[in-house]
A and B are shown apart, each in its own frame.
Chain A
Amino acid sequence: MLYLQVLLNGIVLGCIYACVATGFSLVWGVLNVINLMHGTFIVLGSYLAWWAYSALNIAPWTALLIAAPVYFCLGYAVQRGILNRVIASPVLVTLTLTFGLDLMLNNAMLYFFKADYRRLVLEPAMGSLSVGPLVVPVDRLVAMAFALLLTLILYLILRRSRVGRAIVAVRMDRDAALLMGVNVKSIYAIAFGLGASMAGCAGVLLAMIYPISPVASGGYLGKAFVVCVLGGLGSVPGAIIGGLFLGLVESFGSVAFGPEHSVTLSFGLLILFLIFRPQGILGKRGFE
């Protein structure tokens, strides 16, 4: 029965990891930009959820409706105003630029929100669902459901809408897309905006689960990195598969080797995948 509970814990944790990683994967896959601000966008999303709940009594799932457009605009502006200027440069340049922007954003958060830990305590608490001896917390289930829904929406946007097809086209062949009349700079900004929007929404959902602090951003970024490499870069289903895989490995790894090794285990996997299967589990490059 313990193993069934561990399996359940792993699946729920995996969906949360997938939710953390989708936006990061999109930006990395389409723009070839490793966005080191991703963790900070997530934390900003959590602060928005916390503020909306404590000041305006808006529940986190309703706050998603605010977070999605707000962070889309933020991402769009960052890409249009700053990143597009260096987008054609080698990946190290954009990496360094997002690193610098992240330092600024992070210190601004420390200044404005202070380094204190805050937590969004829902009243009444959502409690847990029990099936026999198995327990699963409702807030994690809600977060998981919304994470899957958001990922599905992103998937549909990319598959079905004109903008989505343009994003995929740019990912596959930038020059050909340009020749076909696609406004590449605008598509880059939209893709980055979507990535930031996913990060902000993930932050809103995670606010129900984790304490909120500016210093949490590094942890989220690390997980997003591992999930993307495991699942396959730039692929929405890949982020879900990678997230679930990581969640399960950490949960069962924690039983087998002890919880102190679960972080080591995930980064060990990252190294193994980079050496032996750099394209990730799904094994495809780019979106379809």
Chain B
Amino acid sequence: MPSFASYFPRISMPVLVCALITSFAATAAVAQDTIRFGAPLPQTGPLAPEALKQQQGYDLWAEQVNKRGGIKVGDKKMKVEIVYTDYQSNTPRAVQAAEQLITQQKVNFLFSPFGSGAAKAASTVSEKYAVPTIASTASSSQVFDQGYKYLFGTFTPNDTLTTPLVKIVREKASGVKRVAILARNDLFPLAIAQDMEKAAKANGLEVVFFEKYAINTMDHSTSLSQMKAQSPHWIFATGYINDLVLIKKQMSDQKMEAPVVTMIAGPAYKEFIAATGKSSENISSAAWWHPAATYKGVDIFGTPGNYSKLFQEKYKSEPDYAQASASVSGVLFQMAIEKAGSLDRTKVRDELARMNVMTFWGPVKFGPTGQIDSLEPPVLQIQNGKTLVVSPAAIKQADFKLSVK
């Protein structure tokens, strides 16, 4: 009986020719009508929840742009297409994914992979091919101090989160003197804890406890017992949502109370409140954006309120800073392309570098390193099961409250 392979040479040529013609036609069509944005995301693996948020943000922006006919490039409008690749929460694969998007998928522009670590790793590729890239989830300044020209970021450095926190606690709770810090031993959570330590010391607070815990730690009871023995006034814990849910649960188990408890980055997400229930009351946090902010932008979303409305219509839930940052990254590309009037990567890069606009995300101006330096991130606090803005004064929704049980 002839094998399947023996048929192959006979059928392969016509099929190949047809496939080539079709794909050539498709590429030609793509080149004429759409602008392709590459987005390498950790769609599977431990970072999958974060990828979902990013994708929601990009998709919402693309949908809104396409509804209006697309991005205006010179005198014609071009539709937007986002090309996703999954790098399975594995940083080396994120770099490969970025390169593959540029060289094989022929994307015009790129969004960075998730987080500071992967964004830094992949930035080398986009710099090599001179592809303007916006990192929507990278805050560590080490990502941007490499002297790269094509990398931009929508998060201000970590210390812009901790400094306003220290300021508001100093103002509202003068009795708070002793600070205890528990940090996940990981790039972003550790960097923010170290910035907190610096800010606390600079403001005359005493750091009585500073410990790091390993990734995948299943028990914090001993660290918390040690922390409790120091009677801190301010407990500052960093990590991702699962770590912080467990830490808060074990704090309640050990009947730990303090005037101020701050956690970064969980409490800005509504899932944190759902998982911790009433014990989350008065926990403070800081994030780069909140739906309650009152910016009046000139972009397609306009205000945070309008952005929230459109987001809720599409996804039936309230957006947080992760989704908004993904959307604003699209918005910024759109504005730069429209201003440049072309898809020329160097021209678009130059427009991004000299950008100074108001958006629903807040005022956007990139510093010399490419990292945004115009934003004042809000301080948040959970009150009555809702996350409210307590600072800065211009967008404040409630007063800062003390006592976390």
Contact = CB atoms under 8 A, between A and B. Distances in A.
Which of A107, A209, A223, A264 has its CB near the most chain B CB atoms (within 10 A)? A209
Interface stretch (B40-48, B322-330, B352-360): B40-48
Contact of A260 (B44, B211, B226): B211
Nearest to A218: B216
A276 B209 CA distance: 37
B203 interface: no
A264 B249 contact: no
Nearest to B277: A121
B388 interface: no
Given A9-B222, A251-B221, A121 B254 contact: no
Contacts of B225: 2, 5-6, 9
Interface in A107-123: 107, 110, 114-119, 121, 123
Contacts of A283: none
Contact of A128 (B218, B245, B254): B254
Contact of B253 (A115, A135, A258): A135
A89 interface: no
- Chain A residues touching B, majority SS: helix
B52 interface: yes
Contacts of B49: 114-117
Nearest to A137: B253
Given A115-B49, A135-B255, A121 B275 contact: yes
B386 to A, nearest CB: 17
A150 interface: no
A279 interface: no
B146 interface: no
B255 A130 contact: yes
Given A209-B249, A260-B213, A117 B185 contact: no
Interface string B217-233: 11111110110010000
Contact of B246 (A107, A136, A211): A211
Contact of A110 (B48, B229, B250): B48
B29 interface: no
Nearest to A138: B253
Given A135-B255, A210-B246, A258 B219 contact: no
A259 interface: yes
A259 B254 contact: no
A183 B62 CA distance: 62
A9 B223 CA distance: 10
B211 to A, nearest CB: 5
Contacts of B15: none
A263 to B, nearest CB: 4
Interface string A132-145: 00011101100000
Contacts of A252: 222
B212 interface: yes
B252 interface: yes
Given A210-B246, A254-B222, A259 B46 contact: no
A211 B213 contact: no
Given A2-B225, A110-B48, A140-B253, A119 B217 contact: no
B277 to A, nearest CB: 5
Contacts of B226: 2, 255
Nearest to B279: A125
A259 B255 contact: no
Contacts of B221: 9, 12-13, 251
A260 B215 CA distance: 8
Interface string B151-182: 00000000000000000000000000000001
Contacts of A102: none
Nearest to A247: B219
A219 interface: yes
Contacts of B182: 259
Contacts of B279: 125
Nearest to A210: B246
B66 interface: no
B241 interface: yes
A107 B215 CA distance: 22
B214 interface: yes
Nearest to B212: A260
Contact of A263 (B217, B222, B274, B276): B217
Nearest to A215: B46
Contacts of B185: 260
B306 interface: no
A118 B277 CA distance: 12
A117 B271 contact: yes
B217 A213 contact: no
B312 interface: no
Nearest to B223: A259
Nearest to A12: B221
Contacts of A5: 225
Contacts of A118: 275
Contact of B211 (A2, A123, A258): A258
A117 B242 contact: yes
A218 B45 CA distance: 11
Nearest to A223: B218
Given A9-B222, A119-B274, A135-B253, 15 more contacts: A5-B225, A13-B219, A116-B271, A117-B275, A119-B276, A137-B253, A137-B254, A215-B45, A222-B216, A259-B182, A259-B223, A260-B185, A260-B213, A263-B214, A263-B217
Interface of B: 44-46, 48-49, 52, 182, 185, 211-223, 225-226, 229, 241-242, 245-246, 249-250, 252-255, 271, 274-277, 279
* The 9 nearest A-B residue pairs measured at CB: A137-B253, A115-B48, A119-B275, A9-B221, A260-B212, A259-B213, A263-B214, A254-B222, A259-B223
5 contacts: A9-B219, A110-B44, A121-B275, A128-B253, A135-B255
